[in-house]
Amino acid sequence: MKESDIFALRVGDRVLLQGVIYTARDAAHKRLVELLREGKDLPIDLAGQVIYYTGPAPAKPGELIGAAGPTTAYRMDPYTIPLLAASLKGMIGKGDRGEAVMDAIKSYQAVYFAATGGAALLYSRSIKKATVVAYPELGPEAILRLEVEDFPVIVAIDSSGTNLYQEGVRGYKMPKV
């Protein structure tokens, strides 16, 4: 992602992602952060990249990839700040993030996109190519390089730190009388 793209995005924007994104879940995140702590090279270049928190289901015969729905994002919170410090610019998951991660998104000028839970088949249809690039022994938690077209997400936390999960609730609060 280009910085100009990130700065233009605002909470609630609906976006169709194009190009390359990577997948990673808990086990892969743990390994990436361990490599960073050891001062070793990562198996992927995170600069300007987006990570989708998913572990796709196995592909059925004749299919490129199985259902690829989002994983609950806060599970990645313990690993997120070091990855943002390593130039990661976007994340895709479902659900809210912790306060420290929200602050880091603002500090590192990144963005968190929400994907809709229960729409795994829809997301898999936007994936045009999938290649395992690291940790194949992790099975569905291996890191995949995905080429996507019209991958639908919503900006949940923008680079200014505005949070859709907080702002959305404010818009529907009922006054007490």
List residues with catalytic annotation. Answer: 29
Q: Give Cβ neighbours of residue 44 (< 8 Å, ≥ 6 apart).
A: 22, 133, 134, 143, 145
Residue 44 and residue 134: Cα distance in Å, rounded?
8
For residues 155 and 9, the answer to whether their CB atoms sit within 8 Å is yes
For residues 57 and 120, the answer to whether their CB atoms sit within 8 Å is yes
The long-range contacts involving 70-79, CB below 8 angstroms and separated by at least 24 positions, are: 70/94, 70/114, 70/115, 70/116, 70/117, 70/123, 71/25, 73/97, 73/112, 74/98, 75/25, 75/26, 76/24, 76/25, 76/26, 76/29, 77/101, 79/29, 79/30, 79/32, 79/33
